[in-house]
A and B are shown apart, each in its own frame.
Chain A
Amino acid sequence: MGKKYGAYICTGCGIGDALDIAALTKAAKENGMEAKIHEALCSAAGRELIENDIANDGVNTLVVCACSPRVMKDEFNFGDDKYVTRANLREGVAWCVEEVTEKHTAEKVKEFATEKGQDYVRMACVQAKKGDVPDPYKLETLNRKILVMGGGIAGMTAAMDAAKAGYAVTIIETQDKLGGKALGWRKQFPTAAPWTELEEPTVSAMVAAVQAEAAITLKTSTEVARIAGAPGAYKVTLKAAGTKSEWDAPKKVGVDEQDKISKGEMEDPNAGLQPYMKDDAAAEDFGAVVLATGWNPADVSEYAHLGYGKLKGVVTNAEFEKLAKTGKVPANVAFVQSPGGAEHDQDFPYCNSVTSMVALKQARYVREDNAEGKAYVLYQHMRTPGNMEMFYKGAQNNDGIFMTKAIVTQVEESGNGLAVHLKDTLLNEDVTLNVDMVVLAAGMVPTTSDKPTINLAYRQGPAFLDLELFDGYADSHFICFPYETRRTGVYACGGVRKAMNMEETIDDACGAALKAIQSIESADRGVAVHPRSGDGTYPEFFFQRCTQCKRCTEECPFGALDDDEKGTPKPNPTRCRRCGTCMGACPERIIGFKNYNIDQVGSMVKCIEVPDDDEDKLRIIVFACENDAYPALDMAAMRKLPQNALIRVVSVRCLGSVNMAWIKDALSAGMDGALLLGCKFGDDYQCHFVKGSELADKRMANIGETLGSLGLEPERCAVRQIAINEYNKVDEIINEFVEAIIALGPNPFKGF
């Protein structure tokens, strides 16, 4: 678009007192912009000033020099066709001015603050010149059908909910009928007050409802060979369950491995399979996927002292349910919840709280089937959260159900039955129980624990990533955002995500169906899904200069990039979350967004004025994550905590998007150091783009070496981790870094 600029400087909220406004207007003028001054830009009068310029002069690109870009977003939103950049003069400068001391006089403080303000004005002007409004990516054809993998409670619920919301659904199920594990239940947990009585299974009614729903297509005895494509445009190859297909999803083959395979040094793990980027003309189109493939009973044979697999009468809860469904259960049964003996008091693996409830349910069967039945529930910690506590209470009031905290030290044969030896019981003594059967509380192992299951034909491989963080469950890493995984458009629910009961599964599946719909509708509008929901930009590539180094495809946290037939990256914009990790990774600097790109940020860095000959005026560039570090800086300023005046902060989408070219730009412009402030990484990472801060840390370590070879100290570049609420630490982190730079002295390349 033809750009017409308008620059505005607010003097309110203390900006006019802390800074020399005339000097700020000069900074705008350097960029060819006549800044208008107002005492409260966000007020009705202030906005009118801007709106008049838009109406009368056709201004469409606005440089608003006022408060932090995090606040007053509405007030400075003049429509989707106007590009607005913000200079953070309030939180970024006026509210965090340095303390006046004898050496650092009021005059000096204002001088330093004004220089910082000038730089922020320059940077906002340059940002406006180099950026543009988004032009959303639209798929040529969008498919709104939803694929639900798995026909158990979770899959049926997701399918019904999506259908009720107006979407067509296909359910695929590996078994020859719908219903999943629930078909084998004799009774189910209570789902309503008073929460004490077991209920008749509802699964058959659900199956009937699904079968009667016109919007749902059923494919039993079917599984997914591969899912190619992206949200809004998946291409799914289905196959008969248990068969092999040339379209099975290939394993990931890295650049080095591919090299070895080509040289014949390594066997191709994907021999006989179609390459992942090959289109299957017969594939079915879908818009999004719900993964509801459930779980399998855990193997409990490793606990030798419990005798499973050796002693007759020692069974798992799953086996006991089958027995109860088809016939009568024995009269004296011990239910073992915790296998650890004296070692530890954990439940069996993969239990969550479900197995506590299962034991209580099955104890009822013992009582239902035997007038004199006795059920012993042996636990370390009875886990019946929420309303299930009343179910537990109900079992406690049942005369034939005995419950005790106990360490089960040994199960052995005894006459016709079994003897269960207990220690540390609530009876204050060691006890031996003689029973007919021992039931072990085996957990629920997700189908994703040993197989990719989702079978994506993606360059990064067929499975979800990082599953080891969640013991193999296809779970989210984010407490606030339980549906977010590293594969856009695929939403897991039910037992494949966590061991959960039916009630929880139904809620979970309903939510997953909504997320699937949301990803389709977002793809239709050409905007991102969480966490940059609604962002209309997407990464654009200048492929003529691509060297096929594959860094972008390797490092994308969401597997958005594949290779095309020639080995050039193939973007799949509807998989993309707009973090910019690809932009940060690209050594050729060919990736950028309309309003966030290499040239833009690089130019912002280069427009910072670096005094040549003043050792008191070093310049440090700080790249801060917009979600955590930048708000922490803002909050520190709101508390009026002083911030070092030598720093110049650039807000970035994620540290993963920081291209090392910007660091080189800063240092070759004579700046003295570069600091990256981002989220905590490691197993409990807080980065919402998963790997951003960790990648930045690696890249900075590498650039440190490069600097060393140029004769610059590697300590001039650093990454620090900070959480959003650590605003009380942020100035300390910055000061420490600045002090270290001061000790190193000015950048020797200054002035060149």
Chain B
Amino acid sequence: MTDERSAPAGAVLVVGGGISGLTAALEAAEVGKDVFLIEKNSYLGGRVAQLNQYFPKLCPPSCGLEINFQRIKSNRLVRVYTMTEVKSVTGGPGNYQVTLESKPRFINNNCTACGACADACPDERDNDFNFGMDKSKAVYKPHDMAFPMKYVLDKNACSAAGLQAIKDACKYDAVDLDMAAKEFTVDVSAIVWATGWNPYDPTKMTNLKYDSSNAIITNMMMERLAAPNGPTGGKILRPGDNKEPASFAFVQCAGSRDENHLEYCSYICCMASMKHINYIREQYPTAKITVFYIDLRTPGKYEKFREKLMADANITWVKGKVADIVAAADGSVTLIAENAVTGAKIKETVDLAILATGMEPAAKAQAAALGLSVDSNGFILADANGGMVSAGCAKKAADVVTCAQSATAAAMKAIQASRR
């Protein structure tokens, strides 16, 4: 799979190893195409690897990832490069030269993931996989299901003594402190951009006071809190004081449907919050929950999922936008809003407020430098000549099903481009 032999003509480059990139790469390879799959993180799986469950089935994303990883392992046409990004693109449809850069992992392929290095490592780092809600060792396995199953060293987080301890602990000569960044070029006929999304920065919504209290978290943090391999082992606790919350509030459209932030609807946040209510109900069957929303976008088969929650007497649904959040000394927060139907002013004090932050396309900042055409929101547009294709949330805000469909379509477009 990570075979570095040069690919024959007509290969496809897939940028991004989340669910969209994985899908595009595998669908193309299973037709018989050679594929380079690059991912900037040290592991594949992207955002879905951080999710506890998918809506509406409430099944674990790692189940589908496991299938996809096994598909990659048994397909020699897919070459995977983690910690790798695109530096530049030249050429045109059917004949692109793409310069890639791999950052040093400082752990080579000898790694067996035995974990002796982490056991010996005295230093820690903020765990970005869990949005900084816990620490990992400075040498770490990105997460339980990480693929490739290899450790990574955060050299900057490590003392000299720590580096020595790590090196000494490894029996397999896998620690390579002199590893350097590596630049290389691939020739491909088409490029699928599956660069995904980032959660919208909650500090940008000054009225929601994200930084003022540990009781204000984002929806993605909620995923990690509920995940068995998360910072709390799956227990939903308030960050900071580990209090078991007795009451919750969801702030929908935190950034989305707002001209000052993201003018589009982020598609998934209504269902994501309802999924989070399911997480809460597993652990706190009668906790009081309030949801502030503009519209509940649970179309089609998602209506059943919503109906079930609407029957829960301890959930209050308020059509109205949250105007302000005020932190109190006891760790709680008070949300202030107006009910759009009754006109009533509402003040709701809760132990934990969850901001349903929207999706911002990850390639937004880099797009211009790479010559990608994007719309005003940073979503990548299809190139009329067909050599550059976008997939998943790099193209538009979407749920996982839609991403997988769009990635399959992208694989088709890439194959067509390589025939020209």
Report A's interface with B, CB cutoff 8 A: 12-14, 39-40, 42-43, 67, 70-74, 161, 164-166, 192-194, 344, 346-347, 351-353, 356, 379, 381-390, 393, 405, 424-426, 428, 470-471, 478-483, 498-499, 504, 507-508, 510-511, 513-515, 517-518, 521-522, 529-531, 533-534, 627-628, 631, 635, 638-639, 679-680, 684, 686, 688, 723-728
Contacts and interface: CB of A to CB of B under 8 A. Distances in A.
A356 B297 CA distance: 11
A444 to B, nearest CB: 10
B419 interface: yes
Contact of B229 (A346, A522, A725): A725
A interface secondary structure, majority: loop
Given A389-B263, A428-B343, A518-B27, 7 more contacts: A470-B301, A480-B63, A521-B31, A531-B71, A723-B63, A725-B228, A727-B228
B144 A74 contact: no
Contact of B299 (A67, A347, A393, A679): A347
Given A40-B112, A165-B412, A481-B404, A514 B57 contact: no
A723 B409 contact: no
A85 to B, nearest CB: 16
A725 B227 contact: yes
A424 B74 CA distance: 58
A684 B58 contact: yes
Interface in B383-420: 396-398, 400-402, 404-409, 411-413, 415-416, 419
B145 to A, nearest CB: 7
B169 interface: no
Given A508-B405, A511-B406, A521-B32, A386 B62 contact: no
A725 B224 CA distance: 13
Interface centre among A379, A387, A428, A479 (most CB of B within 10 A): A479
A32 to B, nearest CB: 29
B264 A514 contact: no
Nearest to B3: A74
17 contacts: A12-B112, A40-B112, A40-B172, A71-B149, A73-B74, A387-B379, A389-B265, A405-B319, A470-B301, A478-B64, A480-B61, A482-B401, A499-B300, A531-B67, A533-B74, A627-B66, A631-B66
**8 nearest A-B residue pairs (beta carbon):** A480-B64, A511-B408, A352-B300, A510-B409, A514-B412, A725-B60, A353-B299, A389-B265
Contacts of B263: 389-390, 393
Contacts of A515: 27, 408
Interface in B101-119: 110, 112-115
Contacts of A635: 144-145
Interface in B278-296: 295-296
Given A71-B149, A166-B419, A482-B404, A498 B19 contact: no
Contacts of B419: 164-166
A139 to B, nearest CB: 17
B324 interface: no
B211 interface: no
How big is the B interface, by class?
A: 35 or more
Interface centre among A73, A428, A533 (most CB of B within 10 A): A533
Given A193-B376, A381-B296, A725-B228, A628 B342 contact: no
B40 to A, nearest CB: 22
Interface centre among A67, A353, A426, A680 (most CB of B within 10 A): A353
A211 B419 CA distance: 22
B31 A514 contact: yes
Contact of A517 (B31, B110, B112): B31
B397 A386 contact: yes
Contacts of A42: 112
Nearest to A73: B73
A637 to B, nearest CB: 11
Nearest to A515: B408
Interface centre among B71, B233, B416 (most CB of A within 10 A): B416
B131 to A, nearest CB: 18
A724 B60 contact: yes
B interface secondary structure, majority: loop
Interface in B66-85: 66-68, 70-71, 73-75
Contact of B112 (A67, A508, A511, A522): A67
Contacts of B52: 725
Contacts of B114: 12-14
Nearest to B359: A386
Contact of B341 (A387, A389, A426): A426
Contacts of A192: 375
Contacts of B23: 480
A533 B299 CA distance: 33
A147 B298 CA distance: 34
A627 B408 contact: no
B178 interface: no
Contacts of A39: 171
B330 interface: no
Contacts of B110: 40, 43
A393 B265 CA distance: 11
B409 A507 contact: yes
Contact of B405 (A40, A428, A482, A529): A482
B415 A165 contact: yes
Contacts of B149: 71
A470 B62 CA distance: 24
Nearest to B258: A389
Contacts of B409: 507-508, 510-511, 514
Nearest to B417: A164
B74 to A, nearest CB: 5
Nearest to B74: A534
B26 interface: yes
A410 B149 CA distance: 62
A533 B171 contact: no
B312 to A, nearest CB: 15
Contacts of A74: 1-2, 73
Nearest to A475: B301
A639 B118 CA distance: 13
B54 interface: yes
Nearest to A70: B70
Given A13-B112, A498-B300, A510-B409, A522 B30 contact: yes
A381 to B, nearest CB: 4
B307 interface: yes
B411 A351 contact: no
A545 to B, nearest CB: 33
B144 A639 contact: yes
B297 A353 contact: yes
Contacts of B295: 379, 381-383
Interface string B1-31: 1100000000000000001000100110011
Interface centre among B27, B112, B397, B398 (most CB of A within 10 A): B112
B99 to A, nearest CB: 26
